[in-house]
């Protein structure tokens, strides 16, 4: 803990498919600033798209909280998707490849998990759902603009 | 807030104000200290400017009441500068212990100036301020060392990346045909690099075929097979067909034993066979022509 | 909050035709509703005009998630039912890597490097490349 610190948190609403596009753009921008490479950015933004859509469609909308992480030289991004929808009754089932309740190919949650390094679900029926993920830039931070 | 907390805070504020007020004098003294003098060799003004930035950082950390906090916002702004300084010292052969000592040497000149500010340098308030400033410079030392160490980690990470890239060259074999000779163990990190280099080469060479030659891969377990199949699938999404070549008899047996299904992947025993397959698929016929130098007429 | 994001919303992806081929170019952020609208527009066009091929150029697309993946797969399937062939062109390397990791290999889709190759594939390219016989698809790679 001594050498890690968190900076400010950005909170974005997820209420429509326009919001999904906005969330993707914001995440890509922050990830690029933190030094995520192109492939890593693409993986993270794709995972975010899956999870934000899950919040929108299954949770009836909600929000995402985005926090930059610093651990020594490592840079990362934590995203928490929260909704107050019906909750997930069977998390194991929801995490199964091919399991779908609607619009996608059933790869949403299970696929998103494979695209990030940390993944956790907190949900129970009637209590809403929070899905928290984190990804770390495996590449090196972009050289900062030299001060002065 | 407790009485003691309030007292500590007001002390920190005093120290912060002192640093601001005496910034110029401190910077002038530090500019001659080993740490700055040996790094900023071009001009003394440059050293003085660098010193001022560090004084500002200390002042900001003190003003925030965070004299012990290496994550205080003030330090973040001078982190790059300190990192470059430490790296520069390390390049000239200074050991980490030596660098730490040089940072510690910055304390004395500032303490002397601080004591001079008080009518009674032995009084309680003066002692408290000296203590706060000592803690602050101690924190600075940790920041420098931490930055220096993480710079070392970055170098190692960069070298590791470069090594991975060097170890996986993508070769153009023919118009529209690229190949990666894989040598060594194919772990997750490596297979990521292979996939990226191969896909980029497919775009650059407008390749229709990509050959993954695993002659140099010692063993193929189910994880390696999975990496191979992912690469084949990604190449297909880009419009290129993959051929896996160099499957030695022993590896073929292992694959069968493990029950790995490579059935959907085109495989050939040698790179030459794979190339022949790709050429044929592209409608290119390789025929032996007349010997060079013999006229046809 | 300032909302530059509202501006792009109403737009619709155009579906221009080149002879009997529809040539669709997807670019940048594609809202879900736009993708679904596109799916409808394409199937309607195939039903009402003599379309034999559909080229979807995704070289300008940053990400393909499972939603867009499903839309693309469905466009191809419904086009096939109406005897039109769909070719997906220009997927970026980062997108391909991500899709495979996500578990979507889009086995039913015919994929090529770029639009030029797509037109070749549909048989009215101007390029000198020889026709390129392929097995239909390498289904279910993963």
pLDDT in tens, B161-174: 666 666 678 899 99
Residue to mutate among B80, B86, B87, B159, with most A CBs inside 10 A, is B80
- Tell me the HSE value of B193 on the side-chain side, using a 13 A CA sphere: 19
On the 0-12 / 13-18 / 19+ scale of CB atoms within 10 A, B119 is: exposed
pLDDT by 10s per residue, chain A, length 148:
333 444 578 999 999 989 999 999 999 999 999 999 999 999 999 999 999 999 998 889 999 999 999 887 788 999 999 998 888 877 777 777 766 655 554 567 888 999 999 999 998 888 889 999 999 987 544 333 333 3
**Contact assessment for residue C102 and residue A111, using Cβ atoms and an 8 Å cutoff:** yes
Domain ranges in chain B are 3-154, 171-281
CATH of B171-281, one of 2.40.30.30, 3.30.750.24, 1.10.10.10, 3.40.50.2300: 3.30.750.24
| Chain A interface includes C96 (CB < 8 A) | no
- Among A139, A142, A112, A144, CA closest to A40: A139
Q: Give, in order, the Cα–Cα distances in Å from C8 to each of A91, C13, C62.
A: 36, 11, 16
pLDDT, position C131: 44
* Closest Cα in chain B, distance from residue A143 (Å): 10
Decide if domain B3-154 falls under CATH 1.10.490.10. yes
Contact C114, C91 (CB under 8 A): no
The distance of B177 to chain A (nearest Cα, Å) reads: 24
What is the pTM (predicted TM-score) of this model? 0.68
CATH number of C16-121: 3.30.750.24
Within 8 A by CB and 6+ apart from B294, the residues are none
Closest residue on chain C to B262 (Cα): C141
pLDDT, one tens digit per residue, over C37-59 is 999 999 999 999 999 999 999 99
Chains that touch B (3 or more CB pairs under 8 A): A, C
DSSP one-letter code for A127: S
Structure tokens of B183?
A: 């040598």
Residue B289, token pair as written in the block: 């022509």
Best probe of the B interface among C89, C107, C132, C133, by most B CBs < 10 A, is: C132
List chain A domain ranges: 9-136
CATH (one of 3.30.930.10, 3.30.750.24, 3.30.565.10, 3.40.50.920) for A9-136: 3.30.565.10
């Amino acid at each position: 803990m001594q050498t890690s610190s968190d900076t400010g948190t950005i909170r974005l609403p997820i209420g429509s498919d326009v919001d999904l596009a906005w969330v993707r753009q914001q995440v890509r921008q922050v990830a690029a600033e933190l030094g995520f490479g192109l492939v890593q950015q693409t993986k993270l933004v794709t995972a975010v798209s899956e999870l934000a859509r899950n919040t929108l469609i299954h949770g009836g909308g909600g929000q995402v909280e985005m926090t930059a992480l610093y651990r020594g030289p490592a840079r990362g991004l934590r995203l928490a998707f929260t909704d107050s929808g019906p909750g997930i009754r069977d998390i194991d089932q929801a995490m199964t490849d091919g399991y779908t309740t609607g619009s996608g190919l059933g790869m949403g949650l299970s696929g998103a998990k494979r695209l990030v390094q940390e993944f956790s679900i907190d949900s129970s029926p009637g209590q809403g759902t929070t899905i928290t993920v984190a990804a770390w830039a495996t590449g090196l931070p972009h050289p900062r603009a030299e001060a002065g | 807030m407790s009485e003691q907390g309030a007292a500590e805070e007001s002390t920190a504020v005093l120290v912060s104000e002192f640093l601001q007020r005496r910034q110029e004098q401190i910077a002038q003294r530090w500019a001659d200290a080993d740490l700055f003098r040996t790094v900023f060799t071009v001009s003394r003004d440059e050293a003085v400017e660098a010193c001022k930035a560090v004084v500002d950082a200390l002042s900001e950390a003190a003003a925030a009441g965070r004299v012990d906090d290496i994550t205080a916002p003030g330090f973040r702004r001078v982190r790059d500068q300190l990192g470059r300084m430490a790296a520069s010292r390390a390049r000239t052969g200074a050991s980490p212990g030596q660098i730490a000592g040089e940072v510690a040497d910055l304390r004395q000149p500032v303490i002397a100036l601080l004591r001079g500010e008080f009518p009674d340098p032995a009084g309680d308030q003066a002692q408290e301020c000296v203590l706060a400033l000592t803690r602050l410079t101690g924190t600075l030392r940790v920041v420098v060392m931490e930055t220096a160490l993480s710079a070392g980690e970055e170098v190692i990470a960069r070298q590791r990346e470069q090594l991975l890239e060097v170890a996986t060259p993508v070769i153009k074999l023919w118009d529209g045909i690229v190949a990666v000779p894989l040598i060594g163990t194919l772990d997750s990190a490596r297979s990521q690099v292979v996939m990226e280099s191969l896909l980029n080469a497919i775009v650059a060479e407008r390749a229709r075929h990509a050959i993954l030659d695993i002659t140099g891969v010692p063993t193929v377990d189910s994880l390696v097979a999975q990496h191979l199949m992912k690469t084949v699938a990604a190449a297909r999404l880009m419009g290129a067909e993959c051929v896996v070549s160099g499957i030695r008899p022993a590896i073929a047996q292992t694959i069968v034993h493990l029950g790995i299904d490579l059935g959907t992947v085109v495989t050939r025993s040698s790179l030459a066979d794979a190339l022949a397959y790709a050429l044929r698929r592209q409608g290119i016929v390789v025929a032996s022509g007349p010997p060079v130098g013999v006229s046809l007429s | 909050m300032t909302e530059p994001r509202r501006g792009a919303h109403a737009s619709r992806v155009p579906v221009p035709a080149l002879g009997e081929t529809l040539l669709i170019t997807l670019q940048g952020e594609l809202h879900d509703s736009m993708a679904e609208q596109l799916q409808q527009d394409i199937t309607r066009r195939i039903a009402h005009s003599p379309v034999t091929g559909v080229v979807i150029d995704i070289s300008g697309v940053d990400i393909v998630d499972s939603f867009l993946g499903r839309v693309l797969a469905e466009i191809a399937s419904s086009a096939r039912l109406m005897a039109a062939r769909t070719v997906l062109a220009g997927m970026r390397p980062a997108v391909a890597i991500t899709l495979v990791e996500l578990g979507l290999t889009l086995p039913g889709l015919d994929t090529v490097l770029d639009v030029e190759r797509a037109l070749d594939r549909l048989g009215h390219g101007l390029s000198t490349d020889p026709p390129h016989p392929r097995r239909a698809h390498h289904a279910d790679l993963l």
